[in-house]
Structure 1
Amino acid sequence: MAATIKRIKLGTQGLEVSAQGLGCMGMSAFYGPPKSEEQMIPLIHHAINSGITFLDTSDMYGPHTNEILLGKMGELKNLVEEGKIKYIGLSEASASTIRRAHAVHPISVVQLEWSLWTRDVETDIIPTCRELGIGIVAYSPLGRGFLSTGPKITENFSEADYRQNLPRFKPENVEHNKQIFERVSEIAARKGCTPAQLALAWVHHQGDDVCPIPGTTKIENLNQNIGALSVKLTPQDMTELESLASEQSVKGDRYGGLSPTWMDSETPPLSSWKRPQ
Structure 2
Amino acid sequence: MTIENATPTEPAASASADGAALRALRILEAVATGVGPHRLGHIAAETGVSKPSVHRILAQLGEAGFVSADGFGRYAPGPRSYALAARLSGAHGVGAESILRQFQSDVDNTVHVGLRSGNQAVYVNKIEGNQPYRMASHVGMQLPLHSTAIGKAILAYLPASERAQLLAEVGMPARTPATLTDLDKLEANLAEVRDRGYAVDDEENEPTIRCVAAALLDRQGRPIGGLSISTVTFLVTSQDLLALTPRLAETAALLAPWYVAATPAHDRARR
TM-score, structure 2 as length reference: 0.26
> Which protein is bigger by CA-based radius of gyration?
2
Higher strand content, 1 or 2: 2
Q: Give the TM-score of the pair, scaled to structure 1.
A: 0.25
Q: Which has the higher contact order (CA 8 A, sep 6+)?
A: 1
